[in-house]
Structure 1
């Protein structure tokens, strides 16, 4: 479980992809300093398990299922990534409850700069719109954000200067892919009420 509050802007060091998955080596001295094999770290919002830790970085295995359901397959060495260690019982919940289980991949449609922040509109994959509500929470590349507008195929968020400076969202533009995780509470309510999809 995570909070969607990015701890560190890391970097992809090495990617070794093969048919059924791959291995990614990532630089992130802060998150690596307290990590060990078996720990969970969210990488652009995807919960991955640490295999090895070295000076200033860590290695994770990435299954084909993860490539198929996320935008991790578009990464290349040198790319920045949002990193967050798993929450503990003593962690402040500054964002919202995030599982690190990507529900779909969205595409940034537009960015509109303001005086101090930017409004970003993102295309929603089919089937996710029903879980996105105005003033609700959504995770975009591992960043907990508040939805400011939603329609049948897109939603909008506003990025404050801190988010622009300290996450990958400050660098992404129209056409870029982002990992999306909707608020899990809506999915549980839907299932408990017996709503057919």
Structure 2
């Protein structure tokens, strides 16, 4: 489990494709400082398992399913990525419950820079629209954000300077593909209600 509070911006060092999947090598000195084989690290919101970690770089195997259903398939050496280690039980939950299980992808539709924050609008896949609510939580590329507006086809978020500076969201351009994870509580509530 993760919180959606990005610990550092990392950089993809290498992507090696083999057997339909890929091995991803990512530089992230903070997240690798205590990383061990088998640990979980979210890369742009996708929970990956550490295969090895040394000298500030960790590697993870990415299966075809993850490459096809997330934006990880578009990464190459030099790509900036958001990184977060799995939350410890004794930590504060500063964002919201994020599983690292991407529900879909979206496209950045517009970016309106402001004096103190930027307003961004993203496409919203129809299969996910019922889980997104104004003032609700959503994870975009692993970042815990609050939805400011929503309709059946798109939603908006506002980003403070800290988020713009410390995550990849400050570099995103109109047309860029991002990973979405909706609030897991909404999915569980729906499942409970539908079963009754």
TM-score band by shorter chain is over 0.9
Q: Does residue 59 of structure 2 align to residue 59 of structure 1?
A: yes
Distance 1:91 1:175 in 2: 36
Q: Which residue matches 1:107?
A: 107
Q: Does residue 144 of structure 2 align to residue 144 of structure 1?
A: yes
Q: Secondary structure at the match of 1:97?
A: coil
Q: Does residue 85 of structure 2 align to residue 85 of structure 1?
A: yes
Distance 1:34 1:168 in 2: 23
Structure 1 length normalisation: TM-score?
0.97
Distance 2:18 2:134 in 1: 40
The alpha-carbon deviation at position 17 of structure 1 amounts to 1.5
The alpha-carbon deviation at position 20 of structure 1 amounts to 2.0
Q: Which residue matches 1:41?
A: 41
Structure 2 length normalisation: TM-score?
0.98
Number of matched residues? Answer: 196
Q: Which residue matches 2:194?
A: 194
Which residues in structure 2 correspond to 1:1-197 (within 5 Å)? 1-194=1-194
The alpha-carbon deviation at position 81 of structure 1 amounts to 0.3
| 175-184 or 124-133, larger mean C-alpha shift | 124-133
The alpha-carbon deviation at position 18 of structure 1 amounts to 2.9
Distance 1:125 1:4 in 2: 21
The alpha-carbon deviation at position 125 of structure 1 amounts to 1.5
> Cα RMSD over matched residues?
1.1
Moved over 6 A (4+): none
The alpha-carbon deviation at position 69 of structure 1 amounts to 1.2
Distance 2:142 2:114 in 1: 23
Unaligned 5+ segments in structure 2 are none
The alpha-carbon deviation at position 19 of structure 1 amounts to 4.3
Q: Deviations over 1:116-169 (max 9, x none)?
A: 110000001221000000000000000000000000100000000000000000
